[in-house]
Structure 1
Amino acid sequence: MTLLIVESNPQLAALWRRHVERQGRTVRVAHDQAGAVSALRDGGIAVVILNVLLTDGSAFAVADYASYRAPNVRILFVTAASFFSDGSIFNHVVNACAYVPVATPPEDIAAMVEHYAAPI
């Protein structure tokens, strides 16, 4: 199982990557929409950690592409904003599985990846 982290902040992406790799997972990182779509096009992605607020591109375009290209890919959204705090993101993104603050401890993010990467 490969995890794709889509995060504009390289330091934050690296922090999450280290925690997930400690659990033996393969991790790819993209910092923008184009990189994320390229990674999804290559295949093999099971879970995506996706920041709602990308600096370059649209998180929703990435999620839409994932649901089209690989409908079983689960999207774990993170954000520093209060958008969708009512849970409505689950109405807009069919493969959304979680929505957490960007300040969530990285070990908790890694645990969620393990949970959502488990076979259904």
Structure 2
Amino acid sequence: MNVLIVESSRELSVLWQRPLANMGARVCIARDEEAAAALLREIEFQVILLDLMLEQGSALSVADFASYRQPEAPVIFVTDTTFFSDGSIFQLCANARAFLPSSTPPEDLVAMVAHYGGALCPG
């Protein structure tokens, strides 16, 4: 399974990448909207982990582009803010499947990725 992590924080992206890779996922990391769009043009992803508050670019633009290029790829939004805590993200993004705090334990993120993207295999 190919997983795209779009996260400005290197520390968070590595924290999320390790358990996904340990469970057999091929993980690509983009730090901003431009890098995410480039990867979405080149690689088919089964799941996208997307920080709602990117330092450069718009997470909503990334989700919109993903919906266009890869409409079957579910997006799991993560954030450290209360923005969209009313659930309106699901009205704005057709491919949004979950909305989690950035502090979600990595093993819980792995479970969400496996749920939405298909089973991961230890490897």
Question: Percent sequence identity over matched residues?
Answer: 47
- After the TM superposition, which residues 37-52 of structure 1 pair with which residues of structure 2 at under 5 Å, given as runs? 37-52=37-52
CA deviation digits over 1:97-118, x for unaligned, max 9?
A: 0000000001100110011102
Regions of 4+ moved over 2 Å: none
For 1:7 and 1:103, the matched residues in 2 are separated by 13
Say if 2:76 is the partner of 1:58: no
- Aligned-pair CA distance for 1:46: 1.1
Q: Give the match for residue 116 of structure 2.
A: 116
CA deviation digits over 1:25-67, x for unaligned, max 9?
A: 1000000001100110002211100000000000001000000
Say if 2:1 is the partner of 1:4: no
Question: What is the DSSP-based 3-state SS (H/G/I as helix, E as strand, rest coil) of the residue aligned with 1:85?
Answer: coil
Amino acid at match of 2:10: P
Aligned residues: 119
Say if 2:91 is the partner of 1:95: no
Cα-Cα RMSD:
0.9
For 1:118 and 1:74, the matched residues in 2 are separated by 11
For 1:78 and 1:11, the matched residues in 2 are separated by 14
Q: Which runs of 5+ in 1 are unaligned?
A: none
For 1:94 and 1:44, the matched residues in 2 are separated by 18
- So what's the TM-score if we normalise by structure 1? 0.97
For 1:111 and 1:23, the matched residues in 2 are separated by 10
Q: Is contact 2:44-2:70 (8 Å) kept?
A: no
Amino acid at match of 2:108: D
Question: What is the DSSP-based 3-state SS (H/G/I as helix, E as strand, rest coil) of the residue aligned with 1:19?
Answer: helix
Q: Is contact 2:5-2:29 (8 Å) kept?
A: yes
Q: Which runs of 5+ in 2 are unaligned?
A: none
